[in-house]
């Protein structure tokens, strides 16, 4: 019987380097690597099996993180869209109420004050509509929208 010595222990980085020599580095044969390092081929294949099992778990966790980030992003965008819709609905209610207060505007001569109100309203509403289309998701309230327009 041969003389027994201490067991050799390979660290994780060493094991990966050994596996890399076989898998990537020119396809060195398993038997040649095992003879050089005085490791049983079964041990090599055990390392290889463990390596691929851990790789699958590592890649799956990245996928789960990415899905969670996407879910958070969708939730925040839905919240912004809901805020924008509420601001637009309040502005539209105000718009309709003001139009009703003017009565039926027909092509006839009207008072200058009323005409100026209508023209100012149309100009303001046009600017507000363009602003809200571009920046509506960032506006939190009707009051803020009025200040920004």
pTM above threshold 0.85 = no
Tens-place pLDDT, residues 89-138: 888 888 788 777 766 666 666 677 777 877 887 777 777 766 666 665 55
Residue of 124, 137, 131, 138 whose CA lies nearest to 95: 124
At residue 1, the pLDDT reads 42
Residues in contact with 94: Cβ distance below 8 Å, sequence separation at least 6, in sequence order: 142
At residue 65, the pLDDT reads 78
Q: Where are the domains of the chain?
A: 12-61, 78-148
Positive/negative CA dihedral, 52, 54, 55, 56: positive
Tens-place pLDDT, residues 18-69: 888 888 867 788 888 888 888 899 999 999 898 888 887 777 777 777 888 8
């Amino acid at each position: 019987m041969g003389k027994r010595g201490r067991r050799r222990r390979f660290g994780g980085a060493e094991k990966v380097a050994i596996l890399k020599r076989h898998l990537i580095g020119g396809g060195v044969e398993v038997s040649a690597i095992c003879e050089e390092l005085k490791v049983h081929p079964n041990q090599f294949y055990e390392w290889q099996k463990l390596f691929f099992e851990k790789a699958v778990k590592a890649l799956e966790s990245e996928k789960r993180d990415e899905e969670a980030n996407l879910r958070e992003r969708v939730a925040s965008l839905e919240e912004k869209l809901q805020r924008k819709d509420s601001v637009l609905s309040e502005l539209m209610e105000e718009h309709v109420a003001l139009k009703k207060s003017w009565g039926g505007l027909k092509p006839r001569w009207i008072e200058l004050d009323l005409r100026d109100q209508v023209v100012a309203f149309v100009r303001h509403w046009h600017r507000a509509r363009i602003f809200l289309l571009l920046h509506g998701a960032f506006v939190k309230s009707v009051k803020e929208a009025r200040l920004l327009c």
